[in-house]
Each structure stands twice: as C-alpha cells, then as structure tokens.
Chain A
Amino acid sequence: MHIPDGFLAVNTWAPAWLISVGGIGYCLKKTSLVLKDRMVPLMGVMAAFIFAAQMLNFPVMGGTSGHLLGGVLAAVLLGPYAGAIVIAVVLTAQCLIFQDGGLTALGANIFNMSFLGAIGGYLIYNIIRKIIGDNKGIIIGTGISAWLSVVVASSAVAVELSISGTSPFRVALPAMAGVHALIGIGEAIITCLVIGFVLKVRPDLIYRKGE
C-alpha cells in the first residue's frame, strides 16, 4: 500500500522522512563497506529486478491475480541493508514515475516497506534460520518473515493514518491487518518458491552474514 500525498498530517510524514533519510544513509554506509565500488551498479540492477518482478502477475483465486512485493525476497538474497536500499530505490522510482505513493508520504512508505518490511523481515528470518538451521530453516524463515513483513507494514500504514486523524485506529488496524494477512499468504508462498529455486540452483547467491 503506497500512501499518497495528503493522507498523512505533517506530524507523521515529517518525522518519517527524517527517519528514512537517516536510515537509508546508514544502510548505504553499511553496504558500501561490504560491496565497495561494486555497490552502485549492483544495487541499480537489483532495483530494476525487483521492479520487474513486481510487474509479473500470479494467478490467485478465480480471475484475480496478485504480484510480489519483494521486501523479504530482497533482504534474504542481498542482506538486510542492501535489501532495504533496493526497496527504497524502487519506492522512490514508483513515486516519481507512476505517482504510486506521494512525495511527502515517501518517507513513511520507505519506513513501512523498506525498514519494517525488509530489515524487520530479515531479523525474523535470521532468528528462525538459526534455530532450525540448514536449508529447511532458510525456507521456513523466509515464509514466516514474508508473511509477517506484509502484515506489519500494512499495520504501520493503519497506525500512521490514525496518527494523522485520517482513519480511526480501532477499525483501521484490524481491517488492514486482516486483509493483508491474506495477501501475506501469497507473498509468503511466492517468496518461498523463489528462494527455494535459487537455493537449489545457485545456493551461493543467498546472503549469509560473515560467511
């Protein structure tokens, strides 16, 4: 859910912008330590990859279709910081090119999907992966964190909207979380399938910290 301009009050979008600018700065610094001068081209093509992957429609029930959001996918493949940058770049491009999400709300959108979605999702994935271990841990961790990341990001939208006085908290939160609990199932299935495939064919491409 990309929040447009005008939906958030200044007491919400201004702090969200500050957090996002600081957060992205931190992620860029962390990533450039690992990737050095490879960072720019690699992040660029990876953002193009997520952008393209989001355009592929999956058949759901009846005639409806859904698409991948890719937050956890990016984080599992590239690591939390690089994943967050890629998602933030995609969100910025979507805001500029398709007016998908507003300019003032971009900070909040980056916060929801890039920080809560990708980095938050990665933290959960990493814990589950370590507990279960092996490839099984990677798949289960991916599934659970992909589902959670969608639910948490959409709940954050509800929270931000109610802080802005745009929608009542008590109704908006369960409604948003409820709908996205269903959407999240699709996201989890697709992300697991993609990660499972990469794991089978090129396991070296999956991000492992310090290995």
Chain B
Amino acid sequence: MKHAYIDEYSDIDSYIHRLDPRIKIISLFAFILFVIFTRPTSFIAFALYGVLIAVLFLLSKIPPGFILKRSLVIIPFVLMVAIFIPFFKKGEIAGGYSFGTLKLTVTYDGLMILWNILVKAYLCILSMILLITSTKLSNLLKALEKLKFPSVFVIILSFMYRYIFVVQDELMKMKQAKEARTTGGSRWFHVKVLANMIGVLFMRTYERGENVYFAMCSRGFNGKIKIITGFELKMKDFCFMLIIMSILTVIRIFGS
C-alpha cells in the first residue's frame, strides 16, 4: 500500500539536500532559537528571517505548494490562542464586539501576543519542514546520534521508523477487510470493531517485536547497536553554517 508521506521530497538533488545533515540540524536549530528570542516588535527582523527561509526553500527546489500545505498544521493552535485574546484586559482597546449581553474587547496588547506567536510558530515550522523535506529520515537520525543525542532513544526512533510502514500496512489491510465485510450497522458496532482491530494490531505487533529480537539474536546481537556512518564534513558545509550564522547575527543586531 502507499505511504510516501514521510520525507516525501528528500530524494531531490539540490544544494540543500547535499549538505551534511549535522550542519542542517545545527543551522536550523540556531534559526529557531534566533527567531524565538527576537522581540515581537522587531518587524523588520521577522521579515528578514522570512526572506532567509524562503531563499533556502528556493535553493532546495521543494514545491512551494507542498510547503504551504504542510505548514497549515499550526492552524488549530493559533485559533485556540486567538479565542483567548479578547480576555486579556490589559492595555489600550483596539476594538470590541458583543454577543447579546456578553461584551468582549480586544486590546493592542492582546493582538501583540497573537502576532508574536503566529510569526514565531510559523517561521519555526517552516524551518522544520525544510529540515525534514531535505533530509532522509534515516540520515537525520544518524546525524542526531552523531551529535551526541542519547543513542538508545535514537535507535528506538530508527526502529520505529523502520516498522511504521509494516505496522501501518497491517492496519490498512485489516481496515480494508473490515470494510469489505461490513455494511450498515450501528455506529457503536463500528467503534467496537475498530477497537478490536487495535487490540489485534497490538498483539501482532508485540509478537513481531519478539520475532525481530530473535532474528537479531540469531545474527549475533548482544545488546549493542553498531551504526556504520558515512558522513563527511566538506568545506561547503562549514561555509553554509558560517553564512547562516552570520546572516542570523546580522539580522539580530540590525533588525531590532
């Protein structure tokens, strides 16, 4: 069955894709930190951050429509915060509206909070999208390990990544079988069948986990995971990091 939704564009050949994953992780994490620690009133700085990430996206040749669609995950949370904005009572009133007897006012302070969150969250999400769409997940995990992330955690993550597709395939097949055999029926019946499916999936996955372990043992696994790494830092990687860091610093100093 089809699941090409994880790291979908990671096999494009572009300048960004060819960079060392470690360099990308460090640079984009620096980008996130710079964005988060910028004052909400530095509008120029945010515009420049936006331009920077847009240029990086252009270099990476990832279709803009895809980026736009991906970045919409932020909407529910922004809506949730937006709902609470009228309840900030402090500051100058920017406008108001009323529902019957309930009167709500929006203050400039409240709007500032919303702007602050919106712009920062969006820029950070864009940088994360750039990281994941320009790097194969297996390489990203390897790079995390190289960067001294707790190795057990990273190895569990890479196991998970390997089996997501297998487990999901199993679930999709079960769902297809269920749909082929059930017509009508009450909602409660469907909920019960779906829950039973999760139960079956758990048992099969648990058994699969044990089988995987036995297979590993038969090949000489002794609790230690060895990873063959083929990363090589080149001059252009260092150049990229240096350029990104200096641009970020310049924006930070002159943008605010």
- A interface list, Cβ under 8 A from B: 1-7, 10, 21, 24-25, 28, 32, 36-49, 51-53, 55-56, 58-59, 68, 73, 77, 85, 88-90, 92-93, 95-100, 102-104, 161, 165-168, 170-172, 175, 189-190, 193-195, 197-198, 201-202, 205
B167 within 8 A of A: yes
B228 within 8 A of A: no
| Interface residues in B, total, Cβ within 8 A | 78
B168 neighbours in A (Cβ, 8 Å): 48, 51-52, 55
Known: A5-B124, A5-B125. A104 touches B32 (CB 8 A): yes
6 smallest A-B Cβ distances: which pairs? Answer: A44-B159, A6-B120, A193-B195, A37-B223, A5-B124, A197-B199
Main secondary structure of the interface of B (DSSP, over half): helix
| Interchain CA distance A210-B175 in the complex, whole Å | 36
Complex contact B36–A49 (CB within 8 A): no
Closest to B155 in A: A40
Known: A55-B171, A193-B192. A168 touches B210 (CB 8 A): no
Among candidates B73, B124, B222, residue contacting A98 with C-beta atoms closer than 8 Å: B73
Complex contact A167–B84 (CB within 8 A): yes
| Interchain CA distance A67-B181 in the complex, whole Å | 22
Known: A40-B159, A96-B140, A166-B117. A59 touches B190 (CB 8 A): yes
A6 neighbours in B (Cβ, 8 Å): 35-36, 116-117, 119-121, 123-124
Complex contact A36–B223 (CB within 8 A): yes
B85-138 at interface with A (beta carbon < 8 Å): 87-88, 113, 116-117, 119-121, 123-125, 128-129, 132, 137
B146 within 8 A of A: no
Known: A25-B150, A49-B201. A44 touches B192 (CB 8 A): no
Complex contact B194–A56 (CB within 8 A): yes
A4 neighbours in B (Cβ, 8 Å): 73-74, 77, 121, 124-125
Known: A97-B6, A99-B132. A92 touches B157 (CB 8 A): yes
Complex contact A161–B124 (CB within 8 A): no
B212 within 8 A of A: yes
| Interchain CA distance A59-B81 in the complex, whole Å | 27
Known: A1-B77, A48-B163, A51-B167. A7 touches B121 (CB 8 A): yes
A-B contacts, 13 of them at CB < 8 A, read: A4-B124, A44-B158, A56-B194, A85-B156, A90-B160, A93-B160, A93-B161, A99-B129, A103-B29, A161-B81, A168-B88, A194-B202, A201-B203
Complex contact A40–B124 (CB within 8 A): no
B158 neighbours in A (Cβ, 8 Å): 44
- B interface list, Cβ under 8 A from A: 6-7, 29, 32-33, 35-37, 70-71, 73-74, 77, 80-81, 83-84, 87-88, 113, 116-117, 119-121, 123-125, 128-129, 132, 137, 140, 150, 152-153, 155-164, 166-168, 170-171, 175, 187, 190-192, 194-203, 205-206, 208-210, 212-213, 216, 221-223, 225
Complex contact B125–A99 (CB within 8 A): yes
Known: A25-B150, A97-B132. A51 touches B124 (CB 8 A): no
| Interchain CA distance A65-B180 in the complex, whole Å | 20
Complex contact B153–A28 (CB within 8 A): yes
A102 neighbours in B (Cβ, 8 Å): 32, 121, 124-125, 128
Complex contact A190–B124 (CB within 8 A): no
Complex contact B164–A52 (CB within 8 A): yes
Smallest CB–CB gap between B91 and chain A, Å? 13
With A6-B124, A102-B32, A166-B113 given, can you name 18 additional A-B contacts, CB distance below 8 Å?
A: A4-B74, A4-B125, A5-B120, A6-B119, A10-B36, A40-B155, A43-B159, A47-B159, A47-B160, A48-B160, A48-B163, A49-B201, A52-B164, A52-B201, A85-B156, A89-B156, A97-B7, A167-B87
